[in-house]
Amino acid sequence: MKFEEYRIATEVKRNLADMGFRRPTDIQYKAIPPILKGEDVLAIAQTGTGKTAAFVIPIVHLLHDRKVSGRSEGIRCVVMVPTRELALQITEVFEQIGKYTRVKSFCVFGGVEQGPQIARLEKGIDVLVTTPGRMFDLASQGYIKLDRVEMLVLDEADRMLELGFLKDIRDLIRFLPKKRQTLFFSATINETIKDLAYSLVTRAIRIQISPKDPVSKNIDHSVFFVEMDDKRFFLERMIREHPESKILVFVRTKVRAERVMKAMERVEVESLTLHGDKEQKDRLDVLSRFRSGTVKVLIATDVSARGIDIPDVDYVVNYDLPDVPENYVHRVGRTGRGVKKGLAVSFCSTEEKEMLKEIEQYLGKPIQVLRLNQTEYTETMVLTKEEKDPLKAIMQEIEAAEAWTEKQRKPNKRK
């Protein structure tokens, strides 16, 4: 079935055609009809399956249709998400799919001045995409009124619980009308998520995509056994062997992200970092430069693993294996999105082998091991441009990390 055959507004079909959307993905095919009928939906779908459009398409149609009929004013839909980046991304999708419609979308989040957000809210919007903190701030000040909300979407619900937003979600429900349509989307499911979901939805249509394989079939996985102190040399080699590829590198901590960037800087490899301690404007600038391909290498913590749609990521590199097996799925899901192929490469040190076992157990299958003989391993160490003074290199890393940490401790002087 093609989108042009759906009973949705002509304006929405035109926008989908402009975006190159011809046929629905599995999650879109299963979710759009019940949402159009006004039913609650509980959807479990892995990242990269097109689930954002699965709820945006029917919501835009329904709100546009109601506005044409003169029956819609004020905030009619709230989409709650765990991160600022995801809020911006989903708002962009609403704007693209709603381009020729009467539906107005806007997002609010913390970390920036609230004045411009208030000014935009006062002009009137239909769809509010938001993170919990700023939404409650503005609601308590009277700038956000939720008494006319007809639809609630919780996206990346498992990530919101992971970040401790359960109370915020419960508090939000008290602000909303009891009669509403609720759409609950999550990449993973456990008892806590199930309990929350069924406390919010009513006779929901349950949709589960690829339950036996949590990772997209479009992604090829492999792992190298590399000692912790040697990882930077193998990352350098990989980047140099794929100069035109967009490479997303995941590390375990913020300080480690900065250290790896400095290590790449010493061998004349340009990279950027993305983590929770960066100012919002800096995070947006980093994502913009990486998305556009101005810089080909992004070193990130798990803050960017969930829900962020960065087009054409060729490689995801697990420089450090994640502590939580589920995060492996969210990390590698940044590549191989939609119908595109992706490659995920992990560096596993001796001390990380137990983590690798846990990840494989979670996946339900082993990850292909790419074995290096001693000659290949040694060649990688020799080919690097980094100075072969290990003490000097270590001191440089320590100094860089200390300088960055000190910078974070300085009081914020911005108004």
Asked whether residue 41 falls in the same domain as residue 126, the answer is yes
Give the per-residue pLDDT at 346: 96
- SS3 per residue for 256-289: HHHHHHHHHHHCCCCCEEECCCCCHHHHHHHHHH
Asked whether residue 178 falls in the same domain as residue 78, the answer is yes
Whole-angstrom distance, CA of residue 91 vs CA of residue 153: 13
Q: Which conformational region is residue 164 in: left (phi greater than 0), alpha (psi within -120 to 50 degrees), or beta?
A: left
Q: Answer whether residue 65 shows pLDDT above 50.
A: yes
In tens, the pLDDT along 281-324 reads: 888 889 889 989 999 999 999 876 565 678 789 999 999 999 88
199 lies in some domain: yes
Give the per-residue pLDDT at 207: 92
Asked whether residue 233 falls in the same domain as residue 116, the answer is no
415 lies in some domain: no
Number of domains in the chain: 2
Q: Answer whether residue 188 shows pLDDT above 50.
A: yes
Strands of the sheet containing 247-250, edge to edge, are: 272-274, 297-300, 247-250, 315-318, 342-348, 219-225, 368-369
Nearest 5°: CA angle at 15, between 52 and 19? 65
Whole-angstrom distance, CA of residue 11 vs CA of residue 98: 8
Going by their DSSP bridges, the two strands 315-318 and 181-186 should be labelled as: unpaired
Asked whether residue 156 falls in the same domain as residue 224, the answer is no
Q: Which residue has the tokens 């799925």?
A: 329
Q: Which of 208, 234, 262 is the last residue of a domain?
A: 208
Asked whether residue 183 falls in the same domain as residue 297, the answer is no
10 lies in some domain: yes
127 lies in some domain: yes
Entry pTM = 0.69
Q: What percentage of the chain has pLDDT greater than the value 70? A: 88
The number of residues making up the chain comes to 415
In tens, the pLDDT along 78-95 reads: 999 988 888 988 999 999
Q: Which of 208, 233, 252 is the last residue of a domain?
A: 208
39 lies in some domain: yes
Domain limits at 293?
219-409
Lowest mean pLDDT among 104-108, 158-162, 293-297: 158-162
Q: Answer whether residue 13 shows pLDDT above 60.
A: yes
What CA–CA distances, in Å, run from 77 to 24, 31, 105, 146? 23, 17, 9, 9
Q: Which of 208, 238, 269 is the last residue of a domain?
A: 208
| Residue 306 · residue 330 · CB < 8 Å | yes
In tens, the pLDDT along 229-244 reads: 999 999 999 999 999 9
| Residue 128 · residue 77 · CB < 8 Å | yes
What CA–CA distances, in Å, run from 292 to 88, 99, 135, 243, 288? 16, 22, 30, 15, 6
Q: Counting beta carbons within 10 angstroms of the beta carbon of residue 274, is it exposed (0 to 12), middle (13 to 18) or buried (19 or more)?
A: buried
Asked whether residue 277 falls in the same domain as residue 189, the answer is no
Q: Is the dihedral of CA 221, 225, 229, 232 positive or negative?
A: negative
Whole-angstrom distance, CA of residue 355 vs CA of residue 346: 12
Domain of 20, CATH number, reads 3.40.50.300
Asked whether residue 203 falls in the same domain as residue 227, the answer is no
Q: How confident is the model at residue 378 (pLDDT cuts 50, 70, 90)?
A: confident
Q: Answer whether residue 381 shows pLDDT above 90.
A: no
Asked whether residue 160 falls in the same domain as residue 228, the answer is no
Asked whether residue 180 falls in the same domain as residue 295, the answer is no
Asked whether residue 313 falls in the same domain as residue 387, the answer is yes
Asked whether residue 269 falls in the same domain as residue 174, the answer is no
36 lies in some domain: yes
361 lies in some domain: yes
Structure tokens at 323: 């502590």
Asked whether residue 310 falls in the same domain as residue 359, the answer is yes
213 lies in some domain: no
What CA–CA distances, in Å, run from 367 to 36, 238, 362? 40, 19, 11
* Beta-carbon count within 10 A of 339 CB: 9
Structure tokens at 310: 């960065």
| Residue 78 · residue 151 · CB < 8 Å | yes
* Beta-carbon count within 10 A of 378 CB: 11
